[in-house]
Each structure stands twice: as structure tokens, then as C-alpha cells.
Amino acid sequence: MDIIDTHQHLWDLDRFELPWIEPGSVLDRSYLTADYLEAVAEFRVVKAVYMEVDVAPSLRRVEAEHVIELCRSADHPTVAAVIGGHPGVADFRDYVAPLLPNDCIKGVRQVLQGHGTPPGHCLDSAFVNDVRWLGEQGLCFDICIRCNELADAAELAKRCPDTRFVLDHCGNADVQDGDRSTWQRGIDAVARQENVVSKVSGIVVSADRETWTPEDLAPVVNHTLDAFGPHRVMFGGDWPVCTQTAPLSEWITALMKIVASRSSEEKRLLLHENALLFYDL
């Protein structure tokens, strides 16, 4: 089955500074297109959407220009990108506006978890106004937020009805959490906002590296699929971040097992069709 990976990270540490990477960790090296192609070699990944990698702020425009050049080149599946940016800061629109003529730029993301970002930040009026502006420009906004702040994500989407949103990583559920009731209430609240789709991505990182099985991930995947419905979910690899727990091939294989009982149409929508339409690829 053809796959569109909506959450592909790439970074060259000789060119970009990523302050969040822990020295000596599995992520503390460059991950290039050749490495990605090796990681997905056994699957038919026909297109990929580059996801910003939270570079040092001074390098954000350089990253955007780099990925535009990447999307215009050949011999790899990367055809579109979501760039980094901080809505609500003074120069946000001046930064994004010159990039708008590049149709490979599909949206913006700010990682709202960690990095000193306080709860409720995404509901500040300046933030909301800039996210509304993104919608006016035809761009989407990726929400990457703590799972106990999903009510804020739902409220942001409600305040920006003409902006399309993508919820990253099933709302960052912890698959080892014995009580996921707070996450479930939050994910259901976000799913009620019809301008939000969810990426089925990222959750393997919270699994136990040594003992995890597809069954550990299944409750989160299945609840997300059921909450959003078949037409508002998209697959994301989250490579190479996923390699902290599992190779990308193991995450894809686990997801295939989890959705095995669902219809062929649902699987096509999740793995390919929804992303094709949402990002106008």
C-alpha cells in the first residue's frame, strides 16, 4: 500500500543547531535523506512532508529556505514542508509572508510542550490572531502540546474556525500511563472541532524500549481513529525521533497490525488519501 509520511524530520548538525538534542543521545548525529530512505526501504513511501526540527531561532529562516530547495529537488519523497515559527511574536508575519509563494510550504508549527512554554500560551490574543492569519494565507498550524493541555488546543481551534489544524502524535498520549482518562477527554474535545485532523504518530516514543508490543500502542491508536473518524487522520513516522524506542520500520509494522481489522478503505485514508487531500500534494 502506498504511504505518505506526514511527519518526517531531517537534520544536518554540520549546518543547523538543535538546542533540544541531548549530547550523546541516539539523536545526537545528522539524519539525512539517505538515512531516511534506508529506514523506509521495505515500504512504499511515495511522498513525505518535512516537519520542522526546532532549530535555534536565528536559523529558522535558513531552515525554511533549505527545505524549499529540498522539496524542489528529486530522487526522494520529500515534497512539502511545515516550517517552524512562533505565532504572537512581533516579526512572525514578516518571517512567514515571503515564503508564501512557495507552494511546498503547507503550514507552521511551534512545539508548545517544554522549552519554558507556559500552559495556556496558545490562547494569548497575539498568538490566536497570528494563527487566524495563517488560515487566511491558506496555511495550517500543527499543534504539539502536552496531553493535559488538550483543552487549550480545542479552544484554539474553536477561536480560529477558518484555520486548519493538525494535532501531532495523537495528542502526546503516554502509552504506559495506566489512567488515560484525562487524555481521552482532551482528545475527544479536540476531535469535536471539525477544523482539526490528527496525526497517528509519535506515540511509540513513550513505550518501553525493551518490552513494547503493538498491543501497548493499540488503545491510543484506536481511540484516536474512532474519535476523529476515518477522514481526519493521517500517518506520521516521526523519524528519527521514533528511533529512541524503535526503528521506523517497527513502528509502521506495529501500526499495520493494529489497523489490520479495519477496512481497506480506512487504511488507504489513514496511510495515503487523507494526507494527499489535506496537503494538496
- Inter-axis angle of helices 248-258 and 214-228, to 10 degrees? 60
Contact 209, 175 (CB under 8 A): no
CA distance to 13, 51, 87, 146, per residue, from 110 (Å): 20, 11, 8, 13
For residue 94, the enclosing domain spans 3-278
CATH number of domain containing 105: 3.20.20.140
CA distance to 176, 184, 210, per residue, from 188 (Å): 20, 6, 31
* Stated pTM of the model: 0.95
Q: What is the pLDDT of residue 114?
A: 72
State the cell numbers at 160: 480560529
Task: Say how many C-beta atoms besides its own lie within 10 A of residue 85's C-beta.
Answer: 26
Q: What is the pLDDT of residue 118?
A: 87
State the cell numbers at 264: 481497506
Domains in the chain, number: 1
pLDDT (tens place) for every residue of the chain, 281 residues total: 999 999 999 999 999 999 999 999 999 999 999 999 999 999 999 999 999 999 999 999 999 999 999 999 988 999 999 999 999 999 999 999 999 999 999 999 999 987 778 889 999 999 999 999 999 999 999 999 999 999 999 999 999 999 999 999 999 999 999 899 999 999 999 999 999 999 999 999 999 999 999 999 999 999 999 999 999 999 999 999 999 999 999 999 999 999 999 999 999 999 999 999 999 99
Residues 72, 77, 80, 86, Cα dihedral to 10°: -110
Cross-strand pairs, 51:
82
| 182-200 burial code (b ≥16 CB/10 A, e <16) | ebbebbbbbbebeebbbbb
- Inter-axis angle of helices 214-228 and 181-191, to 10 degrees? 30
* Residue in the block written with cell 513505550: 207
Q: What is the pLDDT of residue 119?
A: 87
